[in-house]
Amino acid sequence: MDCTPAHWIIFPQKPYLQFQLEEELKLSPLLAQLLINRGLTQVDEIKRFFSASLNDLAHPFLMKDIKKAAIRIIQAIYRQEKICIFGDYDVDGITGTAILKLFFDSIGANSFFYIPDRLSEGYGLNFSALREIRSAGAGLIVTVDCGISDYEEVQFARELGMEVIITDHHEVPEKIPPAYAVINPKQKECQFPSKHLAGVGVAFYLIIILRKLLREEGFWTSQQPPNLRDYLDLVALGTVADIAPLKGENRIFVKQGLEVLGKTTRVGLQALKRVSGIENGLLTPDLISYRLAPRINVCGRLGQANKAVKLLITKDHQEAEKIAQELDEENRKRQQIENNIFKEACQLIEESGGNQRVLVLASSDWHPGVIGISASRLVEKYFRPTILIALEGNFGHGSARSIEAFHIYNGLKECQELLEKFGGHEYAAGLRIAKDNIPLLREKLNYLAGAILKPEDFVPKLYIDAKVNLNQINEVLIEEIQSLAPFGTDNPEPVFVSEVLSVNSPQIVGNGHLKLRLGNHLIDVEAIGFGMGQLLPESGSQVRVVFIPEINQWQGVRNLRIKLKDIEILSL
C-alpha cells in the first residue's frame, strides 16, 4: 500500500469581508484573511479571540448538574466524608486528577485518588477497584475524564453504598449511568456552549463552582481562597495533550495556562521540564505535545499512572527529581517499543497487499499501552482509519485512530454487538474485543466505510492560508502570525505557498531531514523539511513549496527560515 501525497487546498479569498475586518480592527490584509480562514468573522468574536481573558469564560452554571455536584461535594467536605478521585491514566486524566486533589487538599477535604492500571484493569471504573475504594472508606467518588460509559459499574458503586459524580467529556451513550450527577458538556440537555472541553477542563470548571459556593458560604475566614489561575498550568497541559480544539474556553485555558506553566513553581513540573530539555520561559503547545506529555503519559502506558499524579502534586524536590528521571527513562523504553510495533504493523499492511478502507491489525506481541501512538503514526502514513489490537489470550485491547471523513466512535457504535466495551471520540477510541470477533469487526467496519468514504477521502489535505512571496517574509509578518498563537487543533499555525523558487545547496541532514536554500531573483532563505529527505530536489531545480515562516535562533544569532510542509518539483 503506497503512501498518498497530500492534496493542496488554498483557502478562497473573501475580499469584501477581509476589507471590513481591516477597517474595523485595523488589521493587515493577511491577518484579516488568516482570521477568516479560521472561521473568525465577527468583530466581538475576534476581540475575544485576541484577548483570551479569563473574564470571557462561559458561566459554570451553564454546565448541567455542576451545581448539584458541587453541593454534594461541599456536604462531604463538611462531614469529612472520604472522597475518591477516580481518574484516567492519560495526561488529561492525570492532570484533572491532580487539580482536584490539590484543590481538595487546600480546603482540608478528606480525599485520595485512584488511577486504574491500564494492563490489568483497563479504562474507566471497574468492579474490583470499586470494592477496593469502598474498603478504603470512600462514600463519594468523583471521576475525571471517564465514567460516562460505565453504567453497570456506577450501579455497582451505588449497591456498595457509594455515590458517584461523573466528570467526563467523551461521547455520551444512549444509556447514561445512574450517577448522583453527570457533568459532561456533550449531554443533550447541557447548555454549556463549548462542547469540546478536555476532561481536565471539565474538572477545572468543577473547582471554579466549588470555590464560588464555598466563598459565598463564608468558608474562608482566616485565609485567602485558592487562586484558580495557579491551576492553569495543569489545565493547559492536559488540554493540549488531549488534542482538544484550541478555540473558545480551551484557547483561554491554554493561552493563560502556558504563561503559568512557563514560570511554574510546582517542583514536579520544574523537574520534568529539566529532564525534557526545556528552559525557563514561555512554553508552546509543541513542547507540551512532544516533550512533556509523552513523559507523563508513559507511566500510564507502561506502568502505574499514580506516579505521574504524585509528580504533579508533590512539594518534595528530591521526590520530584527521582520521579522525573524515572519517567524520562521509561519514555526511552516506550519509544523503542512503539517503533517496533509500527514497523511490524507496516509489514503486515504491506504483506496483505490489500487496499482496505479501515486497517484492523492484531498481535499478541504488541504492548497495549503503546498501540495508540503507533495507530496514530499509521494514520499519518497510510491515511486510513486504523485499529491496532494487543491480544492476550482470547481477548484483545484495541486503540483506534481515524481520519476527518470517518467518525470512529460512530463506526464502533455500529459494531457494538462485536465488542465487549468501547468508548471515545470522533478521531480516537478504545475497545475490548474477543479474538474471534476481530475478523468480523474488520469486515463490518470496511463495509461501513465503503458506504461513507469516497476516493478523495483517502487523500490527506494540506490546507494553505495564502500565497506569500519570499520577499514578503520578515519579522513583522512573523509577529503578526504569532498574535494568533497558541496553535493547535482548529487553530493551526498559518501555512503558506510560495512562488516558483530555485533550489540551491540541497542536502540531507540528521535523521532524514531536508535542508536547502530557496531563492528568487531578489532574495534567498534557508529552508528545513523535517523528515522530508526522500523529497530531495536537485540543485538548480524549480520548485513551489508549502511552508511556515519562522525565526531560527542558534548560538544567539536570529535568522529567518522557512519550515517546509511539502514541496512540488516543477523542473530542472
Smallest CA-to-CA distance from 430 within 461, 409, 459 is with: 409
Quick one: cell of 369?
499501552
Domain ranges, ordered by start, for the chain: 7-11+462-571, 56-327, 354-458
Rounded-to-integer distance, Cα 485 and Cα 491, Å: 8
- Angstrom distance (rounded) from CA 244 to CA 486: 12
Residue 385 has pLDDT above 80, yes or no: yes
Nearest partner of 8 among 428, 566, 442, 445, judged by Cα: 566
What pLDDT is stored for residue 404 in this prediction? 94
pLDDT confidence of residue 446 = 97
pLDDT classification of 221: cutoffs 50, 70, 90 = confident
pLDDT given for residue 362 in this prediction = 98
pLDDT at 2: 55
Cell of 255: 493561552
Q: What pLDDT is stored for residue 352 in this prediction? A: 83
For residue 459, count other CB atoms closer than 10 A to its CB: 14
d(CA 161, CA 168): 22
| pLDDT of 1 strictly over 70 | no
DSSP-based three-state secondary structure for 196: coil
pLDDT at 346: 95
User: Which of residues 2 and 515 earns the better pLDDT score?
Assistant: 515
Fold of 7-11+462-571: OB fold (Dihydrolipoamide Acetyltransferase, E2P) (2.40.50)
Name the band, by pLDDT with cuts 50, 70 and 90, for residue 4: low
Q: What pTM was estimated for this model as a whole? A: 0.92
Confidence (pLDDT) at 553 = 79
β-strand partners of 571? 542
Closest of 360, 414, 359, 395 to residue 122, by C-alpha: 395
Q: What is the 3-state secondary structure (H, E, C) of 476-544?
A: HHHHHHHCCCCCECCECCCCEECCCEEEEEEEEECCCEEEEEEECCCCEEEEEECCCHHHCCCCCCEEE
Reduced to 3 states, what is the DSSP secondary structure of residue 58? coil
121-135, 217-231, 334-348, 405-419: least confident range? 217-231
What average pLDDT score do residues 271-290 get? Answer: 91
Give pLDDT, residue 572.
63
Average pLDDT over residues 360-386: 96
Half-sphere exposure of residue 6, counting CA atoms within 13 Å on the CB side?
Answer: 15
85, 86, 89: which is closest to 308 by C-alpha? 89
SS3 assignment, position 250: helix
Q: Is the peptide bond before 486 cis (omega within 30 degrees of 0)?
A: yes
Average pLDDT, integer, range 137-152: 98
Q: Is the pLDDT of residue 474 over 70?
A: yes
The pLDDT mean for the chain works out to: 95
Closest CA to 142 of 159, 169, 163: 163
Quickly tell me which residue has 522525573 as its cell: 324
Q: How far apart are CA 136 and CA 549, in angstroms?
A: 56
Contacts (Cβ under 8 Å, ≥6 apart) of 69: 142, 165, 167, 180, 181, 183, 206
- Classify domain 56-327 by CATH number: 3.90.1640.30
Q: Which residue has the cell 490489568?
A: 120
Three-state SS across 545-562?
Answer: EEEEEEEEEECCEEEEEE
| Confidence band, pLDDT 50/70/90 cuts, at residue 178 | very high
Q: Which pLDDT score, from 0 to 100, does residue 354 have?
A: 64
Distances, alpha carbon 357 to alpha carbons 16, 28, 443, 502, 554, in Å? 41, 43, 10, 39, 44
pLDDT, residue 367, reads: 95
What three-state secondary structure class fits 435? helix
Q: What is the pLDDT of residue 200?
A: 99
Rounded to whole angstroms, how far apart are CA atoms 19 and 27? Answer: 9
Instruction: Summarize pLDDT for 407-432 with one digit per residue, the tens.
Output: 999 999 999 999 999 998 899 999 99
Confidence tier at 453 by pLDDT (50, 70, 90): very high
Q: How confident is the model at residue 21 (pLDDT cuts 50, 70, 90)?
A: very high
Range scoring the smallest mean pLDDT among 80-89, 114-123, 536-545 = 114-123
Cα torsion 482, 483, 486, 492: sign: negative
Q: Which residues are 539's β-sheet partners? A: none
Q: Which of 49-63, 205-219, 341-355, 362-376 has the lowest mean pLDDT?
A: 341-355
Q: Look at residue 335 in the predicted model and tell me its pLDDT.
A: 96
- CA count, 13 A, side-chain hemisphere, 424: 25
pLDDT value of residue 122: 86
Under the banding of pLDDT at 50, 70 and 90, the label for residue 302 is confident
User: 542-554 and 496-497: which strand pairing?
Assistant: antiparallel
Query: What band does 194 get if pLDDT is binned at 50, 70 and 90?
Result: very high
Can you give the pLDDT at residue 51? 96
So what's the pLDDT on residue 222? 80
Give phi and psi for 510, each to the nearest 5: 55, -140
pLDDT at 182 over 70: yes
CA distance 281 to 306: 28
Q: pLDDT tens, 51-68?
A: 999 999 999 999 999 999
CA 474 to chain centre: 31
pLDDT of res. 37: 98
CATH fold for the domain made of 354-458: Diaminopimelate Epimerase; Chain A, domain 1 (3.10.310)
Kindly tell me if the per-residue pLDDT of 540 is higher than 80: yes
- Alpha-helical (H) ranges within 115-245 are 127-135, 151-159, 199-216, 232-241
Find the radius of gyration of the CA atoms of the chain: 25
d(CA 117, CA 397) in angstroms, rounded, equals: 13
